[in-house]
Amino acid sequence: MEADWFFTKDTKWQEEYSELRLLVLDCGLIETLKWGCPCYVVEKSNVVLIHGFKNYCALLFMQGAIMKDDQGLLIQQTANVQSARQLRFKNVDEILKSKSIITSYIK
């Protein structure tokens, strides 16, 4: 796959990235590489991106602002970000505990 190198590079988020990748691929999205990060698409539309920062890794939902977010988990990165929203994680346990929520947000 085009984004394989992203999942083999040395980073503190490797385990988290791999778990997020499995969750997204299990939802039937197609993996591509955009902006140096794995991006998942449906019918050529970008849906979600995996990326990491110093204190967290995240799923970035491209149209997160218009998604139903009953749990209040989606985060606007900065005031300048209009439509994208993040689900943030600090460890793989948070991802595993949130599998059903993550899957529902992806679908």
Task: Name the domain count of the chain.
Answer: 1
Strand order in the sheet with 45-52: 30-34, 37-42, 45-52, 57-61, 85-89
Q: Which structural domain range is residue 64 located in?
A: 4-106
User: Can you give the pLDDT at residue 25?
Assistant: 96
The H or E element spanning position 96 is helix 92-97
Worst-scoring range by mean pLDDT, 12-16, 25-29, 67-71, 76-80? 76-80
32-50 pLDDT, tens digit each: 999 999 999 999 899 999 9
What's the pTM? 0.91
Q: What is the residue-averaged pLDDT of the chain?
A: 93
User: Can you give the pLDDT at residue 3?
Assistant: 85
77-107 pLDDT, tens digit each: 888 888 999 999 999 999 999 999 999 999 8
CATH number at residue 43: 3.90.1150
**Angle (nearest 5°) at CA 55 between 91 and 73:** 65
Q: Is the pLDDT at 1 greater than 80, yes or no?
A: no
